[in-house]
């Protein structure tokens, strides 16, 4: 009886236990399912995060590659700017059938018989001290440059290769004034140098001789200089000692760019692809890179710029192509921004030295190519100029100024010195004036002060008849005086080592 009574309770307890067990199992399954879902969600988030990270990494890598390509291309543009500028200038000045002003066929001198007139607007910052004699040479075969006995007359014949390096500078500083002949040869020439000739080897096939001969501006002196210029000759070595009449090569009717636009405009018009293709061609045989340029060549090769190989912009990544579209403008802007770093300010005069030979300072070379092609060796000439007075205010013809050299402290030169006045009008130009006087120099028979010092006058109106020898007429607007020092002394006092400085311009009214 007792057993019978307890059975239902036991059964219920068993059922309850089973239910509890079932419930626990279900909860375990649910918890397991939740954990799995959470794990899967976490894995999905992690996968998405990894994918995004990978995408960002790839984007960053791609961006870095574009930036690297742009940096290399910019450096390559700057590196080649002197070569392209000089070659464009060569074509524009020599692709003609006869001599005219500063243009003439290959291997012939173009001589300038007079100073430029007051209204001249050709090449900025013209000079009124020397007469130019310019000859572009093709050294596919050796050429002989000869000049007559120059006596004591100052002369200078710097030779510039296509990279814009002055590799020789015959003249008063380096010679004795006597008649001379120079054998000039191109890359790889081997042969015998005739007796009595000085051999000068060029690293490029094409070069330019930028001759300058001193002239005092009088008719009598012009005649004397013109007689000397008529005897400056270029003769092929094969014709040396024989009757020879120069003959102009055929004119190329389609040189590939404008014969009249400014070189900067021509170069910009080439675009990125045209610029680098021209650079690669010119570097092939006519203008091989210097040995010191090897690291630059290795860098340029990374974006397909190699000597003798056509440059194909289309082979670069589309993103790189897009980034290089405006490279010419961006690179030229960078070159322009570096112009201010050329030279140093001394007493408000900008003094630029170390030109003509640049080593691996490609930016300095590019700046000179763009804004002062092709410059001089500092041993030959230094051209300080100023735009402000002693107080840092712009020089203007509305005011009057003086520049005083203390006794015995005029510009220290072995050659000669002068100061040229320029008005500013999208360039630097002579100032028209009633005296037709563009420079002031010792040839004006400068009058000294009682203490032996010499005061020069920069102003629009005459300082008085008794002071006109020392007067440099200024325009009514802003102006720039430029001091030209030919063959500056290299020992104290010297502008080359800073032991002599140009005095400040003082306002006098």
Q: What confidence score (pLDDT) does residue 41 get?
A: 75
| pLDDT at position 467 over 80 | yes
DSSP per residue, 421-488: EEEESSSEE----TT---EE-GGG-PPPPTTS-EEEEEESS---GGGGGGEEE--SSBEEEEEEEEEE
Mean pLDDT within 325-330 = 97
Report the share of the chain in percent with pLDDT over 90.
Answer: 86
372-385: pLDDT as tens digits: 999 999 999 999 99
Give residue-wise pLDDT tens across range 232-252: 999 999 999 999 999 999 999
What is the token pair recorded at 273? 């692809």
Q: Are 136 and 161 in contact (CB under 8 A)?
A: no
Could you report the per-residue pLDDT of 254-269, keeping only the tens digit for each? 999 999 999 999 999 9
Return the pLDDT at 402. 98
435-442: average pLDDT: 97
3-25: average pLDDT:
51
**Residue 2's pLDDT is what?**
41
**Burial class, 209, CB count within 10 angstroms (exposed 0-12 / middle 13-18 / buried 19+):** buried
Task: Give the pLDDT of residue 3.
Answer: 40
Yes or no: say if 428 and 503 are a contact pair by the CB < 8 Å rule.
no
- Cross-strand partners of 396: 478
pLDDT for residue 318: 96
What confidence tens digit (pLDDT) does each residue in 180-236 have?
999 999 999 999 999 999 999 999 999 999 999 999 999 999 999 999 999 999 999
Sequence-separated (6 or more) residues with CB below 8 Å from residue 481:
385, 386, 395, 403, 419, 420, 421, 422, 458, 472, 505
Predicted confidence (pLDDT) at residue 141 exceeds the cutoff of 50? yes
Query: What sign results for the dihedral spanned by CA atoms 67, 68, 73, 74?
Result: positive
CB count within 10 Å of CB 450 equals 5
Taking alpha carbons only, the member of 493, 492, 472 closest to residue 483 is 472
Angle between helix 2-94 and helix 327-337 axes, rounded to 10 deg: 70
175: number of CA atoms within 13 Å, CB side? 25
The answer to whether the beta carbons of residues 382 and 352 sit under 8 Å apart is yes
- Bridge partners (DSSP) listed for residue 135: 109, 209
**What pLDDT does residue 4 have?**
43
Q: Which residues does residue 394 pair with via DSSP β-bridges, in sequence order?
A: 388
Tell whether the model's pLDDT for residue 18 goes beyond 70: no
Distances (CA, A) of 491 to 205, 328, 379: 37, 43, 12
How confident is the model at residue 1, as a pLDDT?
A: 44
Q: What is the pLDDT of residues 44-89, one digit of tens each?
A: 777 777 878 787 888 888 899 999 999 999 999 999 999 999 999 9
């Amino acid at each position: 009886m007792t057993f019978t009574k307890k059975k239902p309770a036991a059964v219920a307890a068993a059922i309850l236990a089973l239910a509890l067990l079932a419930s626990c199992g279900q909860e375990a399954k649910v918890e397991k399912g939740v954990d799995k879902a959470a794990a899967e969600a976490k894995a999905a988030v992690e996968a998405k995060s990894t994918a995004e990270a990978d995408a960002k990494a790839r984007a960053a890598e791609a961006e870095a590659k574009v930036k690297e390509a742009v940096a290399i291309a910019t450096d390559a543009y700057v590196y080649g700017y002197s070569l392209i500028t000089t070659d464009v200038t060569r074509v524009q000045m020599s692709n003609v059938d006869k001599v005219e002003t500063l243009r003439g066929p290959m291997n012939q001198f173009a001589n300038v018989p007079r100073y430029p007139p007051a209204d001249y607007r050709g090449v900025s910052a013209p000079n009124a001290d020397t007469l130019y004699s310019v000859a572009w040479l093709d050294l596919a075969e050796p050429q002989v440059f000869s000049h007559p006995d120059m006596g004591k007359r100052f002369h200078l014949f710097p030779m510039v290769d296509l990279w814009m390096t002055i590799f020789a500078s015959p003249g008063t500083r380096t010679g004795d004034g006597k008649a001379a002949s120079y054998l000039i040869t191109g890359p790889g020439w081997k042969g015998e140098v005739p007796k009595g000739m000085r051999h000068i080897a060029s690293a490029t096939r094409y070069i330019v001789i930028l001759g300058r001969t001193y002239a005092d501006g009088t008719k009598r002196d012009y005649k004397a200089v013109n007689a000397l210029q008529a005897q400056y000759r270029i003769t092929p070595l094969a014709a040396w000692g024989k009757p020879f009449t120069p003959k102009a090569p055929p004119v190329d009717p389609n040189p590939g760019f404008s014969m009249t636009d400014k070189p900067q405009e021509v170069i910009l018009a080439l675009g990125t692809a045209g610029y680098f293709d021209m650079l690669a061609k010119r570097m092939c045989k006519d203008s091989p890179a210097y040995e010191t340029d090897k690291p630059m060549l290795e860098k340029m090769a990374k974006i397909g710029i190699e000597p003798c190989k056509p440059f194909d912009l289309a082979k670069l990544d589309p993103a790189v192509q897009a980034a290089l579209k405006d490279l010419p403008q961006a690179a030229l802007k960078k070159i322009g921004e570096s112009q201010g770093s050329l030279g140093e300010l001394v007493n408000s005069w900008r003094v630029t030295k170390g030109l003509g030979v640049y080593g691996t300072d490609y930016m300095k070379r590019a700046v000179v190519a763009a804004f002062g092609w092709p410059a001089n060796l500092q041993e030959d000439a230094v051209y300080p100029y100023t735009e402000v007075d002693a107080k840092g205010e712009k020089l203007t013809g509305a005011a009057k100024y003086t520049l005083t050299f203390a006794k015995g402290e005029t510009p220290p030169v072995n050659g000669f010195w002068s100061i040229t006045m320029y008005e500013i009008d999208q360039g630097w130009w002579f100032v028209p004036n009633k005296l037709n006087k563009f420079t002031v120099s010792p040839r004006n028979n400068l009058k000294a002060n009682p203490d032996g010092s010499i005061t020069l006058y920069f102003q629009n109106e005459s300082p008085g008849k008794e002071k006109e020898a020392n007067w440099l007429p200024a325009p009514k607007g802003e102006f720039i005086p430029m001091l030209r020092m030919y063959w500056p002394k290299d020992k104290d006092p010297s502008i080359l080592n800073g032991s002599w400085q140009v005095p400040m311009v003082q306002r006098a009214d």
